[in-house]
Structure 1
């Protein structure tokens, strides 16, 4: 909860930010307060305390305290970025905390209906192309590897022109899956703008209000977690979040036609084994 508050500081209103900063500095004392007391201490109103609690996913301040107490005591040093002097055990704790937070926040951001709509579009498509830049290319490669085992055979583009050329000549309906952390990558926007009208654009991003978010038909939202300095843990957790969402889509796709897909997985495994034997 403390890490989530720290992540959302820039999104709060000025009054909510006062409450958030007080909670970060006095988490244990807050557990014994009511909304009026916290409001007075933070220089805000009780209504602001309630709004802050709901922004953090709680039903109200009482529910917020229950969630906060479940995670006490928390070593506040774990909320900071890694330093050159820390031992490996501390680094492991910091990264595992961010990974847990990333998965929890992604589950809140990612609606079940969006996953099911994505799966339905993929099942009806006659062509699928996937594209990402940098770390997002790793996620795109993972998507292709997984769905290829089911006989879907998505096309993995290595540059923007290649993807646009592929989409221009594919059967309809088609699917274009774009992966972009910021939703503002110029090459990815170029592909989205050139997509045939008969294709469905699925976007995997943490920025649903971005340029790509406005162009997408379906948006799969994830939530990477990092300390305020936004050093390398942001890139680490964004990739983990992307891979997690792809896994969810893959398993849901597999689940809805379980027997058929299980047979394909078994056949692909047997083919690989025969190749290795030879």
Structure 2
């Protein structure tokens, strides 16, 4: 059976909508690209409907919340308009500049949609535990390994003992030295990667806080992590590269780095300046 897009569902439900819901439906159909960046209040103001009507509209088409609706819409728009993550990219011979624009669109959509998937309270919890930690380990495989390496590099600059190793057995040794108050940052888009799960469980046994960067959903990693920083689900299971998910992961890691620097920068700024000056001498 062919999967119905969100916009197709709206069209199919037009006869079942109340007058208020119909106004919302027409507005969304005409401004689909703008909707992921709007709130229920924005939709309410733009259509002359109540915020409750916006929520009822979502439920009428079988979606539990406006947040979930926006995520589904972003995915549909990305797949329909700018799909570059699976093998269908070969079906149309776009110019290099067209493909550049598609990559830019997908990456931008991934970052913007993370505003909807990331829980403010979870981010605050992440900030609290990281600032107090002595060790911050990162781990991911495949495309997520790139994000994990970036995280380890950034937090090393802040003076943490921070590491990521592609060798699973080396990571076992590193995790074995974690203690209560340390943080293990597990990165997996699917939340089902076996090596990431095994190391996360080992880190919990050692008393460390497990912080997951994973897509929103009830995956094993999502369920088991102490703190969840969620990315949107914008990719197919079979894809040519983890383009959108890695962009969202890196954005979260950059945010954690800046949040941490904002809180402890006065303690490490002189050392960062020294390292920067030393690096400059090597360029001369």
The structure-2 alpha-carbon separation of the partners of 1:133 and 1:34, relative to structure 1 and needing over 3 Å to count, comes to: same
Give the TM-score, by structure 1 length.
Answer: 0.71
Aligned to 1:249: 256
TM-superposed CA distance for 1:47, in Å, is: 8.5
> Is 1:55 aligned to 2:58, yes or no?
no
The SS at the match of 2:234 is: coil
CA contact (8 A) 1:183 1:207 kept: no
Aligned to 1:20: 7
Give the TM-score, by structure 2 length.
Answer: 0.70
Aligned to 1:269: 276
Which runs of no fewer than 5 residues in structure 1 stay unpaired? 1-8, 11-16, 26-32, 40-45, 69-73
User: Pairwise CA RMSD of aligned residues?
Assistant: 3.7
Aligned to 2:21: 35
CA contact (8 A) 2:117 2:216 kept: no
Query: Which of 100, 109, 117 is the equivalent residue of 1:101?
Result: 109
CA contact (8 A) 1:202 1:218 kept: yes
Q: Distance in 2 between the 1:47 and 1:114 partners?
A: 24
Aligned to 1:206: 215
CA contact (8 A) 1:139 1:239 kept: yes
The structure-2 alpha-carbon separation of the partners of 1:258 and 1:135, relative to structure 1 and needing over 3 Å to count, comes to: same
Q: Distance in 1 between the 2:275 and 2:258 partners?
A: 17
Within 5 Å, give how 1:1-278 maps onto structure 2.
20-23=7-10, 35-36=21-22, 49-51=57-59, 52=61, 55-57=65-67, 78-81=81-84, 82=89, 83-195=91-203, 196-226=205-235, 231-232=239-240, 235-276=242-283
Residues 82-140 of structure 1: per-residue CA shift (max 9 Å, x gap): 33422223222322221221111111111232222112111211222211111111101
CA contact (8 A) 2:180 2:209 kept: no
